[in-house]
Amino acid sequence: MLGPRWLYLHGFASGPGSAKGSRLADHYAEKSVTVECLDLRRPSMEHLRLSAMIAHVRGAIGTPEDRAVVLGSSLGGLTAARVAEEDARVCALVLLAPAFRLVERWRTRIGEAEWEAWRTTGFLETKDHARGGMARVDFAFTEDVAHVEARGDGWPDVRVPTLIIHGTRDDIVPVEGSRRWATGKQHVHLVEVDDGHELVASLDLIVREADRHLASFLQR
C-alpha cells in the first residue's frame, strides 16, 4: 500500500526554498519520503489570497483516493489547518507557529493608523524573504483571510492528529493562540520551545518531534 503524499507549506513572504522546508525535505529524503515544498504565492505575492492557497494545496494532494500529510509554517500552518478542516484526504498535520486569527492579530500588531493606511492606499510594503528586497501585498488579502476565518468560531475545525511546535518568544504569532486552540483537543499535541517565530534554533527538535508524530506513516 502506498503512503500519503507529503506537502510542506511555507510562511508569508517566504517561498518553497525556505530553511525549514529545505531541512524537512532533506531529512525525509533520507527516509525515502519525498516532501513537496509548494509555492503558496497564489495567485501572486502582490495579490495573495488564502482561498487560492487552499485551492492550490487541495489540487496538489491529487486524486480523490489520495491522502496527504501536510506540514506548514506560520501562514502555511494556517493554510494547512484550513485545508484539513474541509478535505478528508488530509490524514495528519505538523504546524509550526501557525498563524491562527491572522487578521485580528495583524491589525493589533501594526496599529489602527497603519491598518487604515493599508486600506486607503490598497497596498502594504513588506520584506520579501524569498526573493530579497521589498514586496507589496494588497488589502484584499486581509478581506479574503477574514472571509475564510469567518467559518464557525474563527478557529479551524481540525479532526486529524496534529502536532504544533511554537516558540514562547514568538513576537509575530504569539504562542497563546496555539495554546488556546490546542486546549481540550486530545488529537492535538503542542510542544513549546524557547525560540522566536522563525524557529531557527529548533530545527533539530522539529524533525525529532515530527518523526515521532508521523511514525506510523514512515513505517508504511
**How many other C-beta atoms are found inside a 10 Å radius of the C-beta of residue 197?**
20
Calculate the alpha carbon distances from 160 to 16, 29, 61, 163, 214 in Å. Answer: 24, 24, 16, 10, 12
Which positions ≥6 away from 140 have C-beta within 8 Å? 47, 49
Segment 43-65 mean pLDDT: 97
In this predicted structure, the answer to whether residue 1 has a pLDDT above a threshold of 50 is no
Domain ranges (residues) in the chain: 5-104+142-218
pLDDT at 153: 87
d(CA 87, CA 61): 10
Report the b/e string of 98-124 with b at 16+ CB within 10 A.
Answer: bbbbbbeebeeeeeeeebeebeeeeeb
- Say if domain 5-104+142-218 classifies as CATH 1.10.10.60: no
For the chain, what percent of residues have pLDDT higher than 70?
A: 99
Query: What strands, in cross-sheet order, belong to the sheet with 68-73?
Result: 35-38, 5-9, 68-73, 90-96, 162-167, 188-193
In this predicted structure, the answer to whether residue 84 has a pLDDT above a threshold of 50 is yes
What are the residues facing 127 on neighbouring strands?
A: 134
- The alpha-carbon radius of gyration of the chain (Å, integer) is 17
pTM: 0.97
pLDDT at 220: 64
What letter represents residue 140's amino acid?
A
Segment 159-184 mean pLDDT: 98
Segment 80-87 mean pLDDT: 97
Segment 70-91 mean pLDDT: 98
For the chain, what percent of residues have pLDDT higher than 90?
A: 96
Segment 105-132 mean pLDDT: 96
**How many other C-beta atoms are found inside a 10 Å radius of the C-beta of residue 143?**
12
